[in-house]
Amino acid sequence: MITDARLCTSAFFRVVDNALISAKGIENLELGMMEECMQHLDALSAAHFPRLRFLRVSGAMGENLARFIRNHSGNLLYLNYMHLNPRLPLESLSSHPNLSLPAVPEDLGVFPELMGYDGDGQLLPLVVPGSHIDSIDVYFMGEVAVKQYISTLHTTHAPWIRCISLLTVDWCPEALASIAQQAPSLTQLQWKCILPDDHEALDWTSSEEILCVLLQLPDLEEFHMKFESVPFGAESVEEFMQDCEILEQWSKALPNLTQLQLPWIGMTYRLQKRKWIPVCSDDNTLSCIFDHDPDELLDLPWLEAFAHDLAKWFRLPDPYHLQLRDDFLKEMQRVLDELMGKDPTKWTEIHYASLFLSRLHRALTGPPQDTDQ
């Protein structure tokens, strides 16, 4: 990764040029050169690697970089282009300068073999047309009209596209509708929004409005919608129950769904044996649940299955299997003593999971009985 050309001499860039030109057998190449660095690699723009299939580049879209991509566009299977400096925090998206695109789309080439594109969403109009792309993972900066670039799918091989992942700095329902209309064969859709810290409560849309759009995606299996800088969590059991109602409603309308992340309280669920269960591997989901006493959650339809999964995930005793309080506590202590010496990096997660399961066991069996005569 070269972040500042001022730190490198002309001799250094000649060495890089010569090394790249002589490496004709390259199949996978990553070039991390920000801003003005690429303009010093004159020989690189004319280099050709006939076996190159996977290309990752970052930096300003100058003439040298555009020409290099064009020289290899015909054989690429995967392209990752990051206009952003990877070292910048995601929150800086809104203040980062916009990408300068080539004046003519053909200046970047044609990508007939391309299967996946990751990176700056403003390149979609340049890389998607004429391709067989089936996976898109893109970000949009500042006030860029997301819908404008997503609409590129309308004139391309939209039926090929199976997976779309978006990172934006705001919520754009028009873009969601555009995706549903123009990429009807989607099986996975993920949208992560980075909202301002002062953003108001999520009254931006209703579950019915989102579902109405998703009905245009009959093959959809996974849908994740997440909002950063928004306090997630359920203040009451009623909010958990509302999630359950939405899950049932959506699963009836979209029978192929197997995983959902709902934006209202931020939990992720998976479908298991026709039941929606919170995902134990998701930290946000666990935090939402662990913030509540288990005795408040006893009426939730997923609690028992979640406890089974949680115990299995962390290799802890299951409160639904060990009925006697003393047996459960002894087994919990034995397992904790064993686990603590194996992987200390996971001890905090294991600790909170064990507390939740222990409290759940107490809620199921009642307080300890007084055995004094």
Q: Which helix (H) or strand (E) holds 165?
A: strand 163-168
Residue 260: the pLDDT is 94
Residue 39 clears pLDDT 80, i.e. is over it: no
pLDDT digits (tens, 9 = 90+) for 175-194: 888 888 888 889 999 998 87
pLDDT at 217 over 80: yes
How far is residue 10's CA from residue 44's CA, in Å, rounded to a whole number?
14
DSSP code for 59: S
**CA-closest candidate to residue 108, choices 127, 135, 121, 93:** 127
Task: Give dist(CA 360, CA 70) in Å, integer.
Answer: 60
Please give the distance of CA 22 from its chain centroid, rounded to a whole number: 37
More confident residue, 52 or 182: 52
* Cα distance between residue 30 and residue 38, in whole Å: 13
Residue-wise pLDDT tens digits, 253-293? 999 999 999 887 889 999 998 899 999 999 989 999 999 99
Closest Cα to residue 107, out of 134, 73, 138? 73
| Residue 1: band (very low, low, confident or very high) from pLDDT cuts 50, 70, 90 | very low
Nearest CA to 137 out of 168, 111, 170 is that of 168
Those residues whose C-beta lies under 8 Å from the C-beta of residue 269, and which sit 6 or more positions away, are 243, 247, 259, 260, 261, 262, 276, 277, 278, 279, 285, 302
34, β-bridge pairs: none
Above 70 in pLDDT, residue 199? Answer: no
- Which one has a higher pLDDT value, 3 or 216? 216
Give the per-residue pLDDT at 176: 85
pTM for this predicted structure: 0.82
Query: Residue 373 pLDDT > 50, yes or no?
Result: no
By CB neighbour count within 10 A (0-12 exposed, 13-18 middle, 19+ buried), where does 202 fall?
middle
Taking the C-alpha atoms of residue 135 and residue 112, their distance in angstroms, rounded to an integer, is 14
Can you give the length of the chain in residues?
373
Model confidence at 353: pLDDT above 80? yes
Longest C-alpha distance within the chain, in Å?
A: 92
Q: What is the pLDDT of residue 87?
A: 47
